[in-house]
Amino acid sequence: MKRLLTITALAIVLALVPARRGHTQTDVTFTKIGEEVNQKVIKVFGAGGFKGLASYGSGVLIDKEGHFLTINSHILDTRDLRIHTYDGTKHHCDVVCREPELDVALCKIKWGARQGEIEHYFDLQTAFKRPPLPTGTNVLAFNNMFQLAVRDDAMTMQRGVVASYAPLYGRIGVFDAAYRGNVYVIDAITNNPGSGGGAITTRKGELIGLIGKELRNELTNTWINYAIPLNAYTEVPDKDGKKIRVSIADMVKLKENYRPAPKRELAKNTSYHGIILVPNVVERTPPYVEEILPGSPADRATTKLKPDDLIVYVEGLPVPDINSFNNILATYGPGAEIKLEVQRGDKLTSVTVKLDKPIGTSKK
Amino acid sequence: MTKIYIAIGLTIALMAVGMSPIRAVEVDKRLVEIEKKRNDLINRIKPAVVSVMGRDPRTKNVIGLGSGVLIDDDGHALTNFHVVTAFGYLAKTMQCGLPDGKLYDCVLVGTDAIGDIALIKLLPATPDQKFPKATIGDSDKLKAGEWSFLMGNPFGLAYDFQPTVTFGLLSATNRYQNVDGRFEYANFIQVDTSANPGNSGGPLFNMYGELVGILGAGPSSRRIRMNSGAGFCISINMVKNFLPGMRAGLAMDHATLGAAMESENDDGVLSRVLVKSVITSDAQRRGLEVGDQLTNFAGKPVFTVNAFKNLLGQFPRGWRVPMTYRREANRVETLVRLMGATQREVDEPKEGKDPKGGPARPVAPPPSGPAAKFYVEKKNFANYYYNDLAQKRVLSKHTEYGDFSKMTGDWTIRLGGKLLTGVAPKPITGAIAIREKGSADGTSPKVLADIDGLDFPLEPLSTKEKPEAFRDPPDSGGFVLAMYHYRQFLVYGEKGFSKDQFYHVGVEPFFPPLGDKPNYMKSMVLAEVFYTKHAGVPGRFYFATEDDIVNGWKRGQLIGMEIEPDKDEDGCEIVFSDYKDIGGGRQLPGKMHVRRGMKKYADFIITSATLK
């Protein structure tokens, strides 16, 4: 085991050491890369400052006109959006377009009477072409966590490893994320208040993603550190069921002509199981079964649920309370077979329920 | 043996599922070397890492409070102020574990409550034991993107006191944070290295194994204070400024300028930093006015208010630092003495009942154990035992240049030299005579001064004395009175001053005679300082910390003094140099440079001295 750990540690070290010969660990620093990237990352200031919502965030400059990308958040809900660039200059800005499906917003510096120019920015056309980073790749994070930087202060720089490249979707209600595509999960604590919109780069300083919002798993009370890849896209059904593809690349290309994807129909309560739980009276009411509606999917199950059964797992996910049960159920549509683990007395029993369409919907 | 079984089991299991075991990759030799280098470094520096322990007043159990690091072989160690106050009161004695597996008794020496630093001292197990120590580095050289180690005892995990080592990147330097409204972390270093409760007070090492910071409190967050991706490390260069005072048992205070700064405008490119308000202070005496532009402070250019706060936050109260400000076309470069940031009383959390009706704070138990005999309580000191020790050390060294304690009779000093108050230097002669019992009532002293043919008599202890006599001769700030204080110090030492008004305050910057175009940062020396007060007049006495060829000083010599007869005006400063033997193993300065504020008064030469 110890050897395995050593090998893992060495593999990490190997990845960190550039190919140049004669270098030692002590010589290899990210000082120069950090200085370069710092010039392209900005501190964003806007709405917030109440209910524990930060009024500050981060962003990345993407062209000389002063366009920048950040996370689509409450910070942008202001008429006075401001940024501070690396040299301490303060600019007022406008939101150009926002895409809730991607959780990304494009903004632009208001130049006023004198048109200025941004000298340092990320070249997105190159960045869009980069393939996704494989798991285990070393990355750097640049952000303004805890608002530690203002004006010309340098952004916080962190190092981490891509732990996985996977969709956040499927955890809606657990991780309340709007974006359903793939994200980079990072092993470092990158997602703090103010980090959202910051840059995730390779160790050469190449932009690969935007640090996401602060997201907490309500079941395990853990926070997830993730970034939305620059080549992020998602497909959203319009009202005719036709799939519309939305991407950061489109936002950047179309700018003010970009139209956000149509609002997604809420998946909530679109399926019917027929399990009536005890009244949800306290904050964390355990999901005890009160009754099963006759003729409902739950009633038709091979193993039947009984009153006073306690549902402990849904599809392998723990459900400590009624809210989490409902949230997880809401992610399954009609026709889905879900496996429940219920505690009856001191025994665990498996129950499989095939969900139906809600009562009252036509059968066409 | 068990390992083999596991290995065999694993192989069979893998074969069973039709896989061959994953083979270890060939590792590049260079990486093995790098890893070994890193291991060696850790093994070399870790013996100096301290686990700070204390007895919980409620459970009576000894528990881990935090971490620390040894900085000399006498057993002095740095930790956080919030570690030694973890129980709600300032712990006077505690215990510390070292990686040698032993638990040592330990006493509080000094504190910097605002900077969140405490100096403690481990007692050696045997009289001749020397402790391992960390090499102190230069935190100003650190850059974001460099690697570093944190060491300490998070969660009190290590019962054998082997430090937990975490490795990470320096996220940023020159940070400024007010932590919980309680601590001011100025010019601190931010790391992404994993830091957890119990790591507090532990050392930050650079990749050369040099101590460059002390981990402090983390960012306030909705999340619990576990590894939050940001560790705040107090820069060792700030600690260096406070260390001599803490070694002398002081409860140190930080400084304010006496003037608030603001950005000229809040928009667009970085604008000028302007003086927003000025209160009665040395800054005001140096001519600083609202609307002036601050361009340089303590030798560093000032572009933002934050940068100014970062610079200011690194100095103890009472320090004198160079400052440059601009008013229209005029550029003024001056020295400014910093005032205290807080009332000294608030340094220590108040014990007992909270006057506001809050929960009662635990009452500090008296110092206990073998370390208790190294603790002496005194108001405004962290531990007066070490101040007394520091005083004795300085005074005993000073006595090597002459013992004046028997010279209680009349003193006559004849002066030559130049008066510097006019357009051109003017040669003068003069004499100072101090009569031990020369006053009108025949019991208290009298000073008779003849400067350039003018008489300046002074009865320093007489209540009937004219106020201006204390500041005579004009433009000197009180040279006559200063000579009287000088004799008090040489002859009587502590007994020559008011009760509790004679103590060591660590080191402060001291400025030798300055030319017309002075480079303050270059000419500045650090001197050990005593604060005194006699008959209501505060004074300072400066001692050379090392032999100084440029200024002709020897270590331990009295190189300067100051008195401030009127708190609203600049007092008299004297720089002593060119020490000469006057017989009986006693030395007196051959030269005295006298100045008031930024103005020169005279360059005196002592032509003869008769001390009885």
Q: Which two tokens stand for residue B60?
A: 């009576």
Backbone angles phi, psi at B388, to 5 degrees: -60, -45
Name beta bridge partners: A243.
A237
CA gap A246, B95 in Å, rounded: 62
State the sign of the Cα–Cα–Cα–Cα dihedral B169, B174, B177, B183.
positive
What CATH architecture applies to the domain B135-236? Beta Barrel (2.40)
> Could A14 and B31 be called an inter-chain contact, meaning their C-beta atoms sit closer than 8 Å?
yes
Contacts of A29 in chain B (CB under 8 A): 143, 145-147
The strand pairing partners of B333, in sequence order, are B324
Contact A121, A61 (CB under 8 A): yes
Q: Is some CB atom of chain A closer than 8 A to the CB atom of B380?
A: no
Category of B80 on φ-ψ map: left (φ > 0), alpha (ψ -120 to 50) or beta = beta
Residue whose structure tokens are 């007022």: A92
pLDDT of residue B524: 94
Determine which helix (DSSP H) or strand (DSSP E) holds B299, and give its type and residue range: none
Query: Does the beta-carbon distance from A148 to B168 stay under 8 Å?
Result: no
Per-domain boundaries in chain A: 2-28, 29-265, 275-354
Of B143, B221, B266, the CB nearest to A90: B266
Q: What are phi and psi of B246, to 5 degrees?
A: -70, -40
Largest CA distance in chain B: 112
Domain boundaries, chain B: 2-44, 135-236, 256-340, 411-611
CATH architecture of residue range(s) A29-265: Beta Barrel (2.40)
pLDDT of residue A145: 94
Q: Compare CB distances from A158 to B28, B38, B169 and report the shortest one's residue.
A: B169
Q: Is the CATH number of domain B411-611 3.30.1380?
A: no
Tell me what pLDDT residue A26 has.
46
Q: Tell me the residue type at A344.
A: R
What are the phi and psi torsion angles at A147 (to 5°)? 55, 40
- pLDDT value for A180: 77
- Quick: pLDDT tens for A210-255: 999 888 766 666 778 999 999 988 888 777 778 889 999 999 999 9
Q: What phi-psi label fits residue A333: left (phi over 0), alpha (psi between -120 and 50 degrees) or beta?
A: beta
**Residue B271 forms beta bridges with which residues?**
none
* Amino acid sitting at position A119: E
pLDDT of residue A65: 95
HSE-CB of A347 using CA atoms within 13 angstroms: 4
Among B109, B43, B113, CA closest to B75: B109
Strand, helix or coil for residue B70:
strand
Peptide bond into A131 cis (omega under 30): no
Averaged over successive runs of 10 residues, the pLDDT of chain B (612 residues) comes to 53 52 79 91 96 88 92 97 93 95 96 97 96 97 96 88 95 91 92 92 96 89 70 96 97 95 87 93 94 95 93 96 94 94 55 52 83 94 97 96 94 95 93 90 90 93 91 94 96 95 96 86 95 96 95 95 94 96 92 94 95 90
Per-residue model confidence (pLDDT) at position B589: 96
Strands B164-179 and B255-256: what pairing? unpaired
Residue B263: beta bridge partners? B273
Cβ atoms of A95 and A78 closer than 8 Å: no
Q: pTM of the predicted model, to two decimals? A: 0.84
pLDDT given at position A269: 53
Choose among A7, A33, A153: nearest Cβ to B306.
Answer: A153
How far apart CA B318 and CA B312 sit, in angstroms, is 12
Question: Which pLDDT value is given to residue A334?
Answer: 80
Q: Which of B38, B227, B266 sits opposite A25 (nearest CB)?
A: B38
Amino acid (one-letter) located at B72: D
Contact A140, A29 (CB under 8 A): no
Distances (CA, A) of B166 to B149, B209, B227: 6, 14, 11
Q: What is the dihedral of CA A120, A125, A131, A137, to 10 degrees?
A: 0
Contacts of B219 in chain A (CB under 8 A): 145-146, 148, 192
Task: Dump pLDDT digits (tens) for B409-421.
Answer: 999 999 999 999 9
Domain B256-340 indexed as CATH 1.20.120.610: no
Within 8 A by CB and 6+ apart from B314, the residues are: B186, B187, B235, B237, B238, B241, B298
Counting other chains too, the contacts that B18-27 makes at CB distance below 8 Å and 24 or more residues apart are: B24/A3, B24/A7, B25/A7, B25/A11, B27/A7, B27/A10, B27/A14
Q: What is the reported pLDDT for A164?
A: 93
Q: How many helices (H) and strands (E) does chain A have?
A: 6, 22
- DSSP SS3 for A360: coil
Distance of alpha carbon B564 from alpha carbon A135, whole angstroms: 69
- Taking contacts as CB-CB distances below 8 angstroms, the residues of chain B near A149 are 172, 175
pLDDT band for position A281 (50/70/90)?
Answer: confident
How far is B223 from B57, CA to CA, in rounded Å?
28
Closest CA to A204 of A134, A138, A157: A138
pLDDT at A359 over 80: no
> Out of 2.40.10.170, 2.30.42.10, 3.30.2400.10, 3.30.360.10, which CATH number does the structure's domain A275-354 have?
2.30.42.10
Query: What integer pLDDT is reported at residue A7 of this predicted model?
Result: 55
* Chain B residue whose CA is closest to A52: B222
Whether ipTM tops 0.85, in short, is yes
Q: Provide the pLDDT for residue B599.
A: 93
Q: How many CB atoms lie within 10 A of CB B531?
A: 16
DSSP code per residue over B214-258: EE------SS-SS--S-EEEEEHHHHHHHHHHHHTTBEE-BEE-S
Mean pLDDT across the stretch A349-356?
90
| Contact between B520 and B510 (Cβ < 8 Å) | no
Whether A71 and A197 have beta carbons less than 8 Å apart is answered as yes
Tell which of A157, A195, A221, A223 to mutate to test the B interface (max B CBs under 10 Å): A157
CA angle B204, B206, B207 (to 5 degrees): 135
CA distance A298 to A342: 13
| H/E element, B389 | helix B384-399
